[in-house]
């Protein structure tokens, strides 16, 4: 399954310029692990990083202008790093399968002459097979909605932009005039109707662009959890649904789906979940006469079931996460803010281990990205899975991988738990 090996964020609120993991031009960095946790004090940008992923997903779904306003973001000026006048930029370095060459997606969003956000620049690049070093080949290049894309899965152009000798408009002109080297049947000069929409939204829906399509599908598949126990307590209309939604208010529908489609597998899943949630013996659904769906939990020692409305926040939450992980076609990327809220601390290590196990299964589980405040959760993690965000002198944040600190790595190698080290101030800047 696809994995993000690294990400760079520029000028997005408190994240003026941070890189996690490997990028095409930072090959010396180790890639992100299948499970990653970001820790740090209040106000260092954990929620901001979570929202950076959400913002990217929103940009694809509804265009950059709407994304700037969505989810209370308050518009471009509010989300651009204060005092900066450059564009907001993202770079995602990802691999579709562990055997395929990584692809880099770059996006820059800026204000146009009428002070409305637009897509200033969008690039997709990939090295050629056998190419180990040097500039990867771009196969989608759009500036302000105009540019060049290459169909198929082989061609592209090697562009050394940093040297400043590349002019996309020139390339477009020479392609149109039939004079460009890269001109082939796969090369297309294009113009988008709406420069506030992502090019990957348009070209990623065309069969002719398999590389673009696979990135679009990947981004569309991200699961950013906005789960709240109260949402899970709502009473949805009955009707089986395949996937858990981001708020978790269709937990009952997913249970119904699994009960219907795979009764035996579902029973096995429930048994596994019930083992992990103390006290819970059995979980099923019940349809009310008005067509609503009730989620029923049988507690040990009680004859009558309890309904989701009566269950603890923690139980509902762990149930929803475990159900998400059991999805027969799980999302490629799962991002969860502070999964610890409402959970008993002993359950946290179990949850962390479940996440890791799931993210490293052979059949390809989701990559999992969490932010956390909880040392007990971090206790279950290895130093290369943990990133520490910190605010610098200038008010912007920097990020470090816990494993880059040899002292920390050595102490963990000696058997000390990482969360304990964090608690004792070994992970924060000294």
Ligand X SMILES: Nc1ncnc2c1ncn2[C@@H]1O[C@H](COP(=O)(O)OP(=O)(O)O)[C@@H](O)[C@H]1O
Q: Smallest gap, in angstroms, from Cβ of residue 55 to ligand X?
A: 12
Q: Smallest gap, in angstroms, from Cβ of residue 337 to ligand X?
A: 8
Interface region with Mg ion, contact rule CB under 5 A, candidates 43-51, 52-60, 281-289, 395-403 = 43-51
End-to-end CA distance of the chain: 38
Q: Which does 140 bind (CB under 5 to 8 A by kind): Mg ion, ligand X, none?
A: none
Of residues 43 and 210, the one with the C-beta less far from ligand X: 43
Of residues 174 and 341, the one with the C-beta less far from Mg ion: 341
Integer angstrom CA distances of residue 315 from 106, 227, 246, 303: 40, 13, 17, 19
Q: Smallest gap, in angstroms, from Cβ of residue 409 to Mg ion?
A: 27
- Is 341 a binder of Mg ion (CB under 5 A)? no
Which residue, among 198, 247, 202, 242, has the nearest Cα to 226 in the 3D structure? 247
Q: Which does 44 bind (CB under 5 to 8 A by kind): ligand X, Mg ion, none?
A: ligand X
Of residues 135 and 226, the one with the C-beta less far from ligand X: 226
Q: Smallest gap, in angstroms, from Cβ of residue 36 to Mg ion?
A: 16
Interface region with Mg ion, contact rule CB under 5 A, candidates 46-54, 98-106, 178-186, 397-405 = 46-54
CA angle 352, 353, 355 (to 5 degrees): 65
What SS3 class is residue 19? strand
Of residues 48 and 187, the one with the C-beta less far from ligand X: 48
Q: Which does 291 bind (CB under 5 to 8 A by kind): ligand X, Mg ion, none?
A: none
What SS3 class is residue 143? strand
Q: Smallest gap, in angstroms, from Cβ of residue 114 to ligand X?
A: 21
Q: Smallest gap, in angstroms, from Cβ of residue 73 to ligand X?
A: 10
Residues of the chain by 3-state class (helix, strand, coil), percent to 5: 35, 25, 40
Which residue, among 171, 104, 109, has the nearest Cα to 138 in the 3D structure? 104
Cα separation, 339 vs 227, in Å, equals 9
- Is 47 a binder of Mg ion (CB under 5 A)? yes
Of residues 220 and 390, the one with the C-beta less far from ligand X: 390
Cα separation, 416 vs 112, in Å, equals 53
- Is 284 a binder of Mg ion (CB under 5 A)? no
Cα separation, 12 vs 59, in Å, equals 14
Of residues 47 and 360, the one with the C-beta less far from Mg ion: 47
Cα separation, 282 vs 100, in Å, equals 42
- DSSP output for 70-116: GGGT--HHHHBPTT--SPEEEEEEEESSTTSPPEEEEEEEEE-TTS-
Q: Smallest gap, in angstroms, from Cβ of residue 83 to ligand X?
A: 8
Of residues 215 and 387, the one with the C-beta less far from ligand X: 387
User: How distant is the alpha carbon of residue 186 from its chain centre?
Assistant: 31
Which two three-digit tokens encode residue 236? 């949805």
Cα separation, 91 vs 213, in Å, equals 17
Any residues with CB less than 8 A from the CB of 268 and at least 6 apart, and which? Answer: none
Cα separation, 257 vs 241, in Å, equals 5
Q: Smallest gap, in angstroms, from Cβ of residue 62 to ligand X?
A: 21
DSSP 72: G
Interface region with Mg ion, contact rule CB under 5 A, candidates 38-46, 63-71, 130-138, 272-280 = 38-46
Of all residues in the shown chain, the one whose CB is closest to Mg ion is: 47
Q: Are 424 and 407 in contact (CB under 8 A)?
A: no
Which residues partner with 334 through β-bridges? 223, 368
Integer angstrom CA distances of residue 365 from 35, 164, 337, 355: 10, 41, 19, 9
Of residues 47 and 350, the one with the C-beta less far from ligand X: 47
Q: Which does 13 bind (CB under 5 to 8 A by kind): Mg ion, ligand X, none?
A: ligand X
Q: Are 384 and 52 in contact (CB under 8 A)?
A: no
Interface residues with ligand X (CB under 6 A) are 13-14, 40, 42-48, 79-82
Q: Smallest gap, in angstroms, from Cβ of residue 20 to ligand X?
A: 15
Q: Which does 199 bind (CB under 5 to 8 A by kind): ligand X, Mg ion, none?
A: none
Of residues 47 and 158, the one with the C-beta less far from Mg ion: 47
Which residues partner with 191 through β-bridges? 146
Q: Smallest gap, in angstroms, from Cβ of residue 387 to ligand X?
A: 12
Of residues 186 and 390, the one with the C-beta less far from ligand X: 390
Interface region with Mg ion, contact rule CB under 5 A, candidates 39-47, 69-77, 168-176, 409-417 = 39-47
Count of residues engaged in binding Mg ion, rule: CB under 5 A: 2
Residue ranges binding Mg ion (CB under 5 A): 46-47
């Amino acid at each position: 399954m696809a994995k993000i090996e690294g990400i760079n964020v520029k000028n997005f609120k408190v994240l003026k310029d941070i890189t996690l993991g490997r990028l095409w031009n930072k090959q010396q960095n180790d890639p992100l692990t299948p499970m990653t946790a970001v820790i740090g004090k209040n106000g260092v940008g954990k929620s901001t990083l979570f929202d950076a992923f959400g913002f990217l997903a929103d940009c694809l779904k509804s265009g950059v202008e709407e994304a700037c306003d969505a989810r209370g973001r308050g518009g471009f000026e509010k989300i651009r790093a204060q005092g900066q006048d450059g564009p907001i930029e993202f770079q995602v370095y990802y691999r579709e399968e562990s055997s395929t060459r990584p692809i880099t997606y770059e996006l820059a969003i800026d204000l146009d002459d009428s002070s409305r956000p637009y897509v200033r620049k969008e690039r997709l690049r990939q090295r050629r097979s056998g190419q180990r070093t040097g500039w990867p080949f771009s196969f989608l290049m759009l500036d302000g909605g105009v540019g060049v894309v290459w169909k198929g899965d082989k061609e592209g152009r090697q562009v050394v932009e940093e040297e400043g000798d590349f002019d996309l408009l020139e390339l477009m002109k020479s392609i149109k005039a039939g004079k460009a080297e890269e001109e082939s049947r796969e090369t297309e000069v294009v113009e988008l109707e709406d420069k506030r929409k992502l090019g990957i939204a348009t070209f990623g829906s065309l069969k002719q662009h398999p590389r673009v399509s696979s990135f679009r599908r990947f981004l569309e598949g991200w699961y950013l959890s906005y789960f709240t126990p109260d949402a899970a307590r709502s009473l949805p209309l009955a009707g089986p649904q395949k996937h858990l939604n981001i708020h978790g208010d269709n937990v009952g529908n997913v249970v119904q789906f699994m009960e219907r489609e795979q009764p035996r597998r579902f029973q096995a899943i429930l048994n596994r979940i019930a083992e992990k949630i103390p006290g819970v013996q059995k979980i099923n659904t019940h349809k009310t006469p008005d067509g609503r769906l009730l989620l029923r939990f049988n507690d040990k020692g009680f004859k009558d079931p309890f309904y989701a409305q009566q269950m603890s926040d923690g139980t509902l939450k762990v149930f929803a996460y475990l159900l998400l992980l059991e999805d027969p076609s799980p999302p490629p990327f799962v991002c969860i803010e502070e999964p610890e809220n409402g959970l008993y601390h002993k359950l946290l290590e179990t949850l962390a281990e479940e996440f890791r196990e799931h993210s490293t299964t052979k059949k390809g589980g989701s990559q999992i990205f969490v932010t956390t405040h909880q040392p007990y959760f971090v206790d279950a993690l290895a130093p290369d899975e943990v990133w520490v965000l910190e605010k610098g002198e200038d008010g912007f944040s920097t990020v470090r991988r816990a494993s880059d600190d040899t002292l920390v790595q050595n102490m963990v190698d000696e058997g000390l738990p990482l969360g304990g080290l964090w608690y004792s101030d070994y992970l924060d800047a000294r």
